Chains A and B, each alone.
Chain A
């Protein structure tokens, strides 16, 4: 089996072009754009609307793919509405890329003026028990902003992430050099994180929970050893169950954690904690997926992972 995998990756690698548009975009972002963001943030923000217009013109393929996935998931939606949602989706996508350059600044501005909380008492109560809290959410654009805001307010959160996801459209240059550079940059942005590939990933999570800390897991993560297929957005998708077992071992409460918005305004919501000791884990997973789906359907333009859905 391993031989087959490695042969496939060699074939894929030789088929991969040396440089693609994505590589050039990464190159620009990681060097001149990042440098400019340090020297004069104003210039980057001034160019942002223009970049969005260019992106809308250059990304017809992506728009079509995202639009088709939305159509499959969102019943009773006409083409005009889909186009508008896809445009908003791309705006959020691009803004998130810019947000990463100024995350601290935006988070601080939001904390002082424009964050609304719901269910903060659930987080506070769960946190007060000193058993750690596992916050379960999904891949929404406001994720990094929401977590940085909470860190500013005294609730630092450990993120669980894939170290080097394989990006479609990436050339050899991107794969061999730029992706590593981008991952280092992203680590600087996210700061507090563990990687799912690491053998001690679960131990580090458990460690944080036993210290009474907070850990965030995205329910719709694609990479997990144990998964269960659950109906999701008009199809069926496999969802990880390992985090539920982790929660049981740690004895930590699990709190659904939702967020939406952008650098202008962010809404953060916590739901009542779920006690896993008394509930069937598969049932909990189905319930969480159902809640995630409702959130996505309410604000489809905010869901980053349309592009990743099969």
Chain B
């Protein structure tokens, strides 16, 4: 499973949304699929950390990063490659 697909699975699992891979398509913002309130953002972050066995450092915590699919994929790919 690539990074993008793993993020898709995390999103689906965390918010229990009936989101198909086809519909996920070229969605850029997670806000299209969920009404991410303040706590939901945090739950999403916690689920990502669990999935990728990685802890977001304080300076990287931003709403832009966590709601933009392309940015998040890029960021997590870099982190995974760094090991």
Contact B63 A200 (CB under 8 A): yes
Residues of B within 8 A of A207 (CB): 58-59, 61
Contact B42 A245 (CB under 8 A): yes
Complex partner residue of A225 from B37, B46, B56, B66, CB under 8 angstroms? B37
The reply to whether the CB of A14 lies closer than 8 angstroms to some CB of chain B is no
Residues of B within 8 A of A246 (CB): 39, 42
Residues of A within 8 A of B62 (CB): 200, 203
Chain A residues with a Cβ closer than 8 Å to the other chain, count: 19
With known contacts A199-B37, A203-B66, A249–B61 Cβ distance under 8 A: no
Residues of B within 8 A of A199 (CB): 36-38, 41, 63
- Decide if the interface of chain B is mainly helix, strand, loop or mixed: helix
Contact A211 B58 (CB under 8 A): yes
Residues of B within 8 A of A226 (CB): 39
The reply to whether the CB of B10 lies closer than 8 angstroms to some CB of chain A is no
Contact A203 B37 (CB under 8 A): no
Contact A203 B57 (CB under 8 A): no
The reply to whether the CB of B73 lies closer than 8 angstroms to some CB of chain A is no
State the CA gap A202–B43 with chains docked (Å).
10
Residues of B within 8 A of A211 (CB): 58
The reply to whether the CB of A198 lies closer than 8 angstroms to some CB of chain B is yes
> Which single residue of chain A is at the shortest CB-CB distance from B57?
A210
State the CA gap A198–B62 with chains docked (Å).
12
The reply to whether the CB of B76 lies closer than 8 angstroms to some CB of chain A is no
With known contacts A207-B58, A210-B58, A211-B58, A202–B42 Cβ distance under 8 A: yes
A and B contact pairs by CB, cutoff 8 A, 16 listed: A199-B38, A200-B38, A202-B41, A202-B42, A203-B41, A203-B42, A203-B61, A203-B63, A204-B61, A206-B61, A207-B58, A211-B58, A225-B37, A225-B39, A246-B42, A249-B45
* Interface of B toward A, CB cutoff 8 Å: 36-39, 41-43, 45-46, 56-59, 61-63, 66
* Interface of A toward B, CB cutoff 8 Å: 196, 198-204, 206-208, 210-211, 225-226, 242, 245-246, 249
